[in-house]
Structure 1
Amino acid sequence: MGSNIDASLEETLSYIAGQLKTLTSIASPTGYTRAATDYLMETLRDMGFGPERSNKGNVLVELGGEGEPLVLASHVDTLGAMVRSIKDNGRLRPTTLGGHQWSTADGENCTVYTRDGNVYTGVVLNTEPSAHVADEPVKAIEKNMEILLDENVDSKDDVLELGIQTGDIIAMDPRTTVTESGYIKSRFLDDKLSASILLGLARAVADGEVSLSRKVSLLFTVYEEVGHGGAFVPADTREMISVDMGCVGDDLGCTERMVSICAKDSGGPYNYDLVTTLSNIARELELDYAIDVYPHYGSDVEATLSAGYDIRHGLIGPGVYASHNYERSHIDGVRNTYELVRAYVQR
């Protein structure tokens, strides 16, 4: 029995890694998520479920079970940018979507998506990136950043003729890779890594590998990066856990190989009893975990509370280093997170 469980878990982890590569390959800066949710809808239908997409764009799917309704939430919107204006020299001035850090994107390849369906590549650079020209380094902040299109354009009119206009979406290259040692490196592990974990759970339920002890639904949100992704959930929800990234950094116990259980973030404390239960399960299963406080963090489930829902709330996720940067996690962190979630929905 044990070897069969281990084989099933390894297969699920491989599936999660594959889903991550697919999801990160789909550009979905916050506000531009239709392609990502189309993929979720199709994938969940293929498993035999009946997902629904809200007017807002969130995808909700009931996995089954009865009683004490639980929602597990992750988000598929990411950081990104939008065309703010077109400069006279044919370069694009960007504006941030979400908590984007321009210092991490200076020199990054990107893609511009126009409203009429055209797609153009480019590169993000500051206004004087050449060490052989600049008298002093230019600070990589929004007002000093621009997008150089990989097109022969030298004027605003040249760019307009391509069909590019204010409000078009700019997506950064995710550069997703999984090393032989198990490290997962990519932009947008926040939160496509945990979205992939929830797809892995859905697949395990569909295949009969996981039996639900209560009603469980998955919610994939599309406006988390701007603060209102989880503002609407089913009315019968009793409990909600945001499965997002776990923070790794100074004064935190979590590493990339752990599952993080958040006790408090910028929105205040998470439900004390739920945090206790999750940590007790992690300890019983001998999972690598840490209980941490995130000083600069907000989650989908806090948007749910702000919307007036009377729920117990929690936040967990695989440890992710360098958040809102080129991020890094590890397959062990994925394993610990998945095993905690799997155990919780079965207890």
Structure 2
Amino acid sequence: MLDLLKRLLQTPSPSGYCMHIMKLLQDEAAKLGYQMESTPKGNGILTIDGAADGGATGLSAHVDTLGAMVRSIKPNGMIRFTPIGGYAMHTIEGEYCLIHTRDGRSYEGTVLSTKASVHVYPDARDWKREEANMEIRIDDKAATKEEVEHLGISVGDFISWDARTRMLPNGWIKSRHLDDKASVAALFGLLEWMKREGQTPPRPIKLIISTYEEVGHGTAYLPPDITELIAVDMGAMGDDLSTTERDVSICAKDSSGPYDYHMMTKLIDLAKREAIPHAVDIYPFYGSDASAALRGGSNIRAALIGPGVHASHGMERTHRDAVVNTAALLIAYIMEPIDA
């Protein structure tokens, strides 16, 4: 799981620019003997046959991340960008990035305030960090709009942030985009366990890798045989929240409302039975792939769990225990007898 997670974190995948990372996952699934199908909008679906027919359990995680897109090229060669996903501008100031052109080239850059130097601008410290006051400096010959266009950079090109991944010997993992690549790694850990142990779940399982969660419509469509969905996404940490970076977060309610009572109860009971460190929390400013599925009209039960992640949508951190514990709770859930 950790090896796969590192490769995922090193592969740029802002929402709408996920073709390379989906190919990586398609190849990884094939190594395990599974075929990953693609939906028209680019989501991936892997099916694990169950011992009995009937409705399937869906497990979703999203591989798309926060990022940006070229909004315009300024006369001085700086790029004005538009955000992809909901993050605060101060969390990316000073960040290195890649600009991906339509013809396959990429250029390095740095995100800066338009008043980047305290030696030049007396109000540099107080300058509001908002979209109009931010820009990207390109690390190439790019002092004019014409020079930037000569590089092949155009309006609408995608921009990805440097993940700055560190996996420490003591188990801590710090990186951008643990939301939600840590959960994708957990799902593939489950997949590897199923194959290695030769296990067959009581009911069919569909793993869904979504590519537009950060912009709100990741799993707005679900295959019609799915009757329940567990969105596997990061658990937030902060004031009045009890989740830690070693826990599985079980979300009782988010901005889309409360999650299914019976699924929640089963997940909590299984976590207790298996002695899996966990916490139940409420996230009023959070939405998930399960939220998108319910709003999209899916007639399903839904739940939300995931590894605890600190500083979400910023410089995130989790622990390998949380990734392992998330996979363990999912395995316990899908292997539970149907009548349990």
Q: Would you say the 8 A contact 1:261–1:292 is kept in 2?
A: yes
Map residues 75-94 of structure 1 onto 2, 5 A cutoff.
75-94=62-81
Per-residue CA deviations over 1:133-152 (Å, capped at 9, x if unaligned) read: 22022222111110100012
- Report the 3-state secondary structure (helix = DSSP H, G, I; strand = E; otherwise coil) of the residue aligned with 2:135: strand
1:44 to 23, 29, 44: 29
Aligned to 1:198: 187
What is the CA-CA distance between 1:231 and the residue it aligns to? Answer: 1.1
Identity of aligned residues (%): 46
Aligned to 1:224: 213
Matched residue count? 332
Q: C-alpha separation between the residues in 1 aligned to 2:65 and 2:12? A: 8
Aligned to 2:15: 30
Aligned to 1:265: 254
1:239 to 225, 228, 236: 228
Aligned to 1:106: 93
Per-residue CA deviations over 1:226-246 (Å, capped at 9, x if unaligned) read: 111101111111110000001
Aligned to 1:18: 3
Per-residue CA deviations over 1:3-57 (Å, capped at 9, x if unaligned) read: xxxxxxxxxxxxx111111011111100111111111111111211121001100
Work out whether 1:249 is the aligned partner of 2:238.
Answer: yes
Q: C-alpha separation between the residues in 1 aligned to 2:266 and 2:305? A: 12
- Report the 3-state secondary structure (helix = DSSP H, G, I; strand = E; otherwise coil) of the residue aligned with 2:298: coil
Work out whether 1:125 is the aligned partner of 2:112.
Answer: yes
Letter in 2 for 1:250: D
Work out whether 1:63 is the aligned partner of 2:52.
Answer: no
Aligned to 1:11: none
Unaligned runs of 5+ in 1: 1-15
4+ residue runs over 4 A deviation: none
TM-score, normalization by structure 1: 0.94
Letter in 2 for 1:35: H
Letter in 1 for 2:73: I
Aligned to 2:263: 274
Q: C-alpha separation between the residues in 1 aligned to 2:121 and 2:63? A: 38
Q: Would you say the 8 A contact 1:210–1:342 is kept in 2?
A: no
Unaligned runs of 5+ in 2: none
Q: Would you say the 8 A contact 2:26–2:36 is kept in 1?
A: yes
Q: C-alpha separation between the residues in 1 aligned to 2:320 and 2:26? A: 25
Q: C-alpha separation between the residues in 2 aligned to 1:239 and 1:222? A: 20
Q: C-alpha separation between the residues in 1 aligned to 2:154 and 2:324? A: 43
TM-score, normalization by structure 2: 0.96
Per-residue CA deviations over 1:61-90 (Å, capped at 9, x if unaligned) read: 102213441000000110000000000000
